[in-house]
Structure 1
Amino acid sequence: MSSNERRMQAGIEAVRKGGAHALDLFRRRKDLVIEKKGRQDLVSRADRETETIIREHIAALFPEDGFLGEEFGASGAKDRMWIIDPIDGTANYLAGLDYWGVLLAYVENGKPTLAFTYDPNRDELWTAEAGKGAFLNGQRIRCAPTAQADEATMALSFNFKLDPPIYTNMLEAAIRKGMDHRRLGSSALKLGYVADGRFDACVSMLTNAWDVVPGLLLVKEAGGCVTDFTKDGHPYDQPRPAAACAPGIRDVIEEVTGLTLDG
């Protein structure tokens, strides 16, 4: 078994294990103490414990690998690094809304190599390996064939660190093109839905690597177009805009966002 095959197996085990723990606490969330990290930025022990479970599972199998996680930051090697968002959609999670996911990506020499997005509530697991396609519960997936803006639905995220007109101007431009939109609260699941054709695009005008790096690889491997998070030397530990879409609407997404997508 190759190192990537072993890491793929380990990643699947880790997100399922972490997801099971997060789901158990979700069902008992009234026992959780909610803390505030920033404006509309919440956290609980569910986030920290889930990230710990994922880190410990991976570290036991690959002690030479490093990590970048939302809750515990960076540690270890950067040329072989796992990026973790233990609960993407924490506000939904703590409010009792079952739209949240567990995110994991393996990055080697700066390039996303493996991606894992797990929705414990629906037992949906998206996986991808660079150059080998994207899968949902083991079945190959592709982006939607949508080619007209007025037939497309775009999923959105908003970050309170963003100047609001950047978001509202982008949204107005998309609406004027005839695009519909949704804002559901988990970039992880929305990008999974772009990869499997449920949405046509996902846009965040400011986001962190742990929110989108796994999903961007999923969409790319499903035949879609995506932004490059580390383009121009941008580091993984600093936020920036990100977008992904079905190939037929690449031009309109670039126009309304001002971003450049590859695909």
Structure 2
Amino acid sequence: MDHIKPRYSDDLPGRALLCQDVIRSAGALVLDGFRQSKKRGFSMKGPQDFLTETDAASEAHIRRAIAEHFPQDTFLGEEGGGTVSDCVWVVDPVDGTANFARGIPHFCISITYVEAGRAEIGAIYNPAQDELYFCRRGAGATLNGSPIKVSPTSGFDAASVEMGWSRRVPDAAFLETMRQLLEKGANVRRGASGALALAYVADGRSDAYVELHMNAWDCLAGLLLVAEAGGVVCPFMEIGTLLNGGPVLAATPAIARGVSVASGIPIESREQPIELQPA
């Protein structure tokens, strides 16, 4: 635990500090695995085990750090699973594994701290680009310490929308959503890392992200980032669950309603309805 500071206060600021420290140190492990895999002529057969090894090492590193400093908190990870409590860390140790496997430097680590069913801290780190997205509820979103905001895009004719694909929903539903977005005039693309796609909405590189089903570890940090950067997001914890996932939508305000109509994913929370002009 060389890169982890010895003590953290038992509160949200302490957890926020640990989150930033541990995601960077886990990022060093993942980046080393990425570089070694490229040297070895990484492919999808045989060396795929090396990717699994990197995933496992990253998750184990994060899990150990949290258990050491906040042993009362629980942990839910993509690789090793876990349990959900009132204080739970939700972790994807490597998101964008297909990119990782092919030597494409578009992958990340995603960590979210959830308290009483609400995401409070979120971090997404791409170690290959040394880009750390971070947010705390109510405190805004940052990229490498500088504040970020969603794009000012005002309509679909200038919008770039990223879509994620999942085998957990029929291809026809994915294709119909894409058809409607294209019909509205949007450019639709796919980068193969849902967590980074959400981060790119938060900093204005994309105008929306939609996926008909995501796991919680892929999306919670990104959804909080977008909300803190001034965007509109679906009420994931109402339409999905930590253990089973659910549909995901995040957008700059001007096109959020239209993306919601195209995908069938709501943007209104039952507790706090969102007032938007029609897109």
Q: What range is the shorter-chain TM-score in?
A: over 0.9
* CA deviation string 1:126-147 (max 9, x = no partner): 0111111111111111100111
Q: Which residue number in structure 2 is paired with residue 11 of structure 1?
A: 19
Q: Which runs of 5+ in 1 are unaligned?
A: 36-41
Indicate yes or no: 2:259 matched with 1:245. Answer: no
Conserved 8 A contact 1:33-1:44: no
CA RMSD of aligned residues (A): 1.6
Q: Which residue number in structure 2 is paired with residue 130 of structure 1?
A: 137
Q: Which residue number in structure 1 is paired with residue 277 of structure 2?
A: none
* CA deviation string 1:205-255 (max 9, x = no partner): 1110011010000000000000122105x4211021101000111111111
Larger radius of gyration: 2
Conserved 8 A contact 2:174-2:212: yes
Instruction: Using the TM superposition, give the Cα deviation of residue 43 of structure 1 relative to its aligned residue in structure 2, in angstroms.
Output: 5.4
Q: Which runs of 5+ in 2 are unaligned?
A: 1-8, 269-273, 275-279
User: Where in structure 1 do 4 or more consecutive aligned residues deviate above 6 Å?
Assistant: none
Instruction: Using the TM superposition, give the Cα deviation of residue 2 of structure 1 relative to its aligned residue in structure 2, in angstroms.
Output: 6.8
The TM-score with structure 2 as length reference comes to 0.88
Q: Which residue number in structure 2 is paired with residue 257 of structure 1?
A: 263
Among 40, 49, 53, the alignment partner of 1:45 is 53
Instruction: Using the TM superposition, give the Cα deviation of residue 33 of structure 1 relative to its aligned residue in structure 2, in angstroms.
Output: 3.6
Give the count of matched residue pairs. Answer: 255
DSSP 3-state at the match of 2:236: coil
Conserved 8 A contact 2:10-2:70: no
Q: Which residue number in structure 2 is paired with residue 213 of structure 1?
A: 220
Q: Distance in 1 between matches of 2:243 and 2:170?
A: 20
Identity of aligned residues (%): 35
Q: Distance in 2 between matches of 1:47 and 1:2?
A: 28
* CA deviation string 1:177-222 (max 9, x = no partner): 0000110110111111100101000111111001101000000000
Instruction: Using the TM superposition, give the Cα deviation of residue 156 of structure 1 relative to its aligned residue in structure 2, in angstroms.
Output: 1.1
Q: Which residue number in structure 2 is paired with residue 34 of structure 1?
A: 48
Q: Which residue number in structure 2 is paired with residue 168 of structure 1?
A: 175
* CA deviation string 1:95-119 (max 9, x = no partner): 1111100000000000000000001
Q: Which residue number in structure 1 is paired with residue 64 of structure 2?
A: 56
Indicate yes or no: 2:107 matched with 1:100. Answer: yes
